[in-house]
Structure 1
Amino acid sequence: MIIFPILIVISIVLYVYYKVAIVKSDDGLTQHYFNAKSRICLGSFVFFFAINQYLFYLTRVSLIIGIIFILLGGYQMYYGLKESKHYRNEWKRLNPSE
């Protein structure tokens, strides 16, 4: 199952990328948008990490902890997607020419 470690590494790299982009940006709306994107990446990291750990150990304890992490990761991804959509629409409203 090499796919889950690859997804974990990609999501953590994108999380760091968006966090650095927040620091580089001066616009508040862009910072909120990048923060929402980083929340999606953090949620996917936790989600895929939970699946990977359960598949690695296959114990009842890892299943319980994995379910908790899957719920937390799913919540972060959902909230990040919702936030990202809101700030993207807000940016389009404020910048109709672009």
Structure 2
Amino acid sequence: MFIFPLLIVISFVLYIYYKVMIVRTRDPLTQDYLNSKSKIFLGSFILFFGVNQYVFYQTKLSLFIGLIFIALGIFQAQSGWKASKHYRNEYQKHQTQS
């Protein structure tokens, strides 16, 4: 399966990209929005890593570890998605007031 390592690398690169963009901006609202976007990609990285571990090894131990990684990845991506929606709306309100 070549797709999971590719998704792992893409999500990790996008996670690093958004973390670097946080350092480059000074606006706290924009930093929070970019941090929430980076949480989405961190969650997808953990999720795809957990799936890849089980597909690659296919043992009971890798199944348990993979399930833990999948659960943590889903939780991280979901919380990042909710925060991203919140900060996107706040950013739009901020832009209309200015």
Shared fold, TM over 0.5: yes
Q: Which amino acid aligns with 2:78?
A: Y
Mapped partners of 1:5, 1:79: distance in 2: 24
Q: Is 1:82 matched with 2:86?
A: no
SS at match of 1:96: helix
| 1:2-58 CA distance string (max 9 Å, x none) | 110000000000000000000000100000000000000000000000000100000
Deviation at 1:90, TM superposition (A): 0.2
Per the alignment, residue 72 of structure 1 pairs with 72
Q: Which amino acid aligns with 1:24?
A: R
Deviation at 1:60, TM superposition (A): 0.2
Q: Which amino acid aligns with 1:39?
A: K
Q: Which runs of 5+ in 2 are unaligned?
A: none
Identity %: 59
Q: Which amino acid aligns with 1:67?
A: L
Mapped partners of 1:94, 1:34: distance in 2: 16
Runs of 4+ more than 4 Å apart: none
Deviation at 1:97, TM superposition (A): 7.7
Q: Is 1:9 matched with 2:15?
A: no
The number of residues matched between the two structures is: 98
Mapped partners of 1:74, 1:68: distance in 2: 10
Q: Which runs of 5+ in 1 are unaligned?
A: none
SS at match of 2:96: coil
Deviation at 1:96, TM superposition (A): 2.0
Mapped partners of 2:13, 2:32: distance in 1: 19
Alignment of 1:42-61 (within 5 A): 42-61=42-61
Deviation at 1:94, TM superposition (A): 1.0
Mapped partners of 2:3, 2:80: distance in 1: 23
Once superposed, what is the RMSD of the aligned Cα atoms? 1.2
